[in-house]
A and B are shown apart, each in its own frame.
With several copies, the nearest count.
Chain A
Amino acid sequence: MTVTEPTVGALPRELLVFEGARQIADGDCVIAGTGLPLLAGLVAQRTHAPSARLLIESGVIFPKVVPTPLSVVDPRIMHAPSKLGSLIESLGGFVQRGLVATGFLGGAQIDARANINSTWIERGTGRVRLPGSGGANDIASHCATIVVLTSHEKRRFPERCDYITSPGFLDGPGARRRAGLNPVRVKVVTDLCVMEGDDAEGELTISALMPGATVEEVLANTGFTPRVADHLGVVAVPSPEHLALLRDVLDPDSRYFPERLKNGNT
């Protein structure tokens, strides 16, 4: 990697982190698990959103994270917070209480209507058991904006999830309202594109492409047919300084980027 070609070195999953970070406004309260979502939150705090606050579902309120937590109960994530509390404080007193603007989620499947499955997947005659909701259902039920960072594989994007762990737009426009849920805006960031949507639309639309990716490539790797925005953006690449922040400061041991080591990027 050279200083004059900084973005060549940005790995696809690193781009996810930076695009995730851009979803966080200054002053937002953000709930994130470990891995890329937490790194996105930390990037936001160190760049454009110094007043963004991180909430961890285990009960850690507004920590000053030190590298690199592997768990929501890692001592590195409990460092110097506002308070050390409990699950019900984080998920009841903040998330269900409506104080958390943005939630980051993962999941094995995300469907055309942004519903998320992290519980059961049908595979042939059998079923594969996944970890289950954790706080994901709570976050998807109550946060105003949901951000999903994921690799773009066809099996991850079915028309309809086998099981809805965390509600997106459910059956489409108005369905959340009918179920008793507040509206949500969902943004899915993958290594190929950004898809987004809200309750009124009731489905995901391709709104931007990752550098070098094409709509055809996205469609070929998606199990449903998303709409395509009239004006497709291209996801911005990080500056060398921001890339260095992620690599040298936030995850210096590449705990979440084993591919860095293989690629000889660090």
Chain B
Amino acid sequence: MAVGVHQLLNPLGQARVMSAAEAVQSFVEPGAVLGLGGQNINRCPMALVHEVVRQDIGELTVVGCNLSLPLDHLVAAGLVVRTEQGSGNLEKFGTLFSWRRAVEANRIEVRDYSHLSMASRFLAGAMGLPFMPVRSLLGSSILERLVAEEDAVVTADPWSGEPVVLVRACTPDVSLIHANAADADGNVVIDGVTSHEVDMVRASRHVIVSVEEVLPAGAFDDQPERVTISGAYISAVVEQPWGAWPTSVYRRYDYYESEIDGYQKSAKAGDEGPRAFLAEHVTAHADFDAYLAATDPGASARTAMAEQMRSLL
């Protein structure tokens, strides 16, 4: 069997609706290769990552294109041994302080790609291919390291003789994403950009999707063109309104700057800050709803961000 090709998902297309706690317990194992959806401040799988922190599932290899807030939480919680990514940052909100410290101290191993080459790795996995060609990376230090680690190979296009890079398929053991909606069969609808998520999901052995709203099976029967990802690839559906908070969900709510800033301020100085933040915001609570109720009593911030999103559409 070619590298990167999984055995059959079994049973195929039998997504089940369950709680975040049950889903994470069922599908995220210590030492897993964990794919993270979302990008920067949009549609990050915060509720699911809170649950991984709560269940203290460690030794993770985290993969994605842009890794942001969820990765930094996992690193701050001491759960990550390695990352493979195109970038780790929050744009205007700064760098990923915990990840950066851990990488600089060699506490976690890191493998750099460009966004296209990382997305191409997921496409290879999604298509059952051992590798994908890319014409990026040539001449760069990124490629030098990948070739040294035998994670990439430079070959000649058989027709033109021009150099082409081959990058290995990336096939997560389990991926976590947050989406606008799903039906009970796990058919997922994402509004707004899909970043790297469609191919990452299709490349994964298991996928947990949290959604703002679970609809009955068959809800998309009359508009199957709107389905972004078939339920065939989904293991568990978790209904979790505001599940990407404080990041945004297009057409639902804007990102909440002060909460993102708050985490960044806590994370900047040293490892104690983000640990205290997670203790207060994550592990102190039984679930994500309890976190939301504690940090946004009366839901005034959430209401405001939902209104702000409506004003932007």
Contact = CB atoms under 8 A, between A and B. Distances in A.
B is a partner of A: yes
Interface of A: 27-29, 33-35, 51, 53, 56-62, 64, 66, 70-76, 78-88, 91-99, 101, 119, 126-138, 141-142, 144, 163-167, 170, 175-176, 179-182, 255
A95 B202 CA distance: 12
Contacts of A91: 114-116, 119
B126 to A, nearest CB: 6
Given A73-B39, A84-B224, A135 B192 contact: no
Nearest to A171: B139
A64 B232 CA distance: 15
Contacts of A34: 91-92
B127 A96 contact: yes
Given A34-B92, A98-B128, A133 B232 contact: no
A72 B128 contact: no
Nearest to B165: A180
Interface string B288-313: 00000000000000000000010011
A75 B309 contact: yes
Contacts of B139: 164, 167, 170, 175-176, 179-181
A97 B126 contact: yes
B128 A137 contact: no
Given A59-B195, A131-B95, A135-B86, A164 B127 contact: no
A167 B232 CA distance: 27
Contacts of A84: 191-194, 224-225, 227
Contacts of A133: 86-87, 112-115, 142
Given A60-B193, A73-B248, A86-B195, 9 more contacts: A27-B14, A28-B12, A70-B257, A76-B312, A85-B230, A87-B65, A92-B120, A97-B126, A129-B100
Interface stretch (B21-29, B130-138, B270-278): B130-138
A130 B136 contact: no
Interface residues of B, number: 89
Interface in B213-231: 218, 221-222, 224-225, 227, 229-231
B112 A182 contact: no
B227 A83 contact: yes
29 contacts: A53-B232, A57-B115, A60-B193, A61-B230, A62-B230, A70-B91, A71-B92, A72-B40, A75-B192, A78-B250, A83-B224, A84-B224, A85-B230, A92-B116, A93-B202, A95-B128, A97-B126, A98-B8, A119-B141, A127-B104, A131-B87, A133-B86, A133-B112, A138-B114, A141-B137, A167-B140, A179-B138, A180-B135, A180-B164
A181 B143 CA distance: 13
Contacts of A164: 139-142
Interface string B186-200: 010001111111110
Q: Which of B134, B196, B202, B230 has the most CB of A within 10 A?
A: B230
Interface in B108-130: 110, 112-117, 119-120, 123, 126-129
Contacts of B224: 78, 80-84
A-B complex: 5 closest residue pairs judged by Cβ atoms: A180-B163, A179-B139, A73-B42, A131-B89, A97-B128
Chain A contact residues: helix, strand, loop or mixed = loop
A66 B191 CA distance: 18
Contact of A83 (B103, B110, B230): B230
B85 A132 contact: yes
Interface string B160-199: 0011100000000000000000000101000111111111
B138 A53 contact: no
Given A88-B123, A134-B115, A137-B137, A73 B225 contact: no
A135 B202 CA distance: 20
A56 B91 CA distance: 14
Nearest to A76: B312
B275 to A, nearest CB: 20
B104 A72 contact: no
B198 A129 contact: no
Contacts of B225: 84
A78 B1 CA distance: 32
A212 to B, nearest CB: 29
Interface in B71-116: 85-89, 91-93, 95-96, 99-100, 103-104, 110, 112-116
A178 to B, nearest CB: 8
B18 interface: no
Nearest to B41: A71
B197 to A, nearest CB: 8
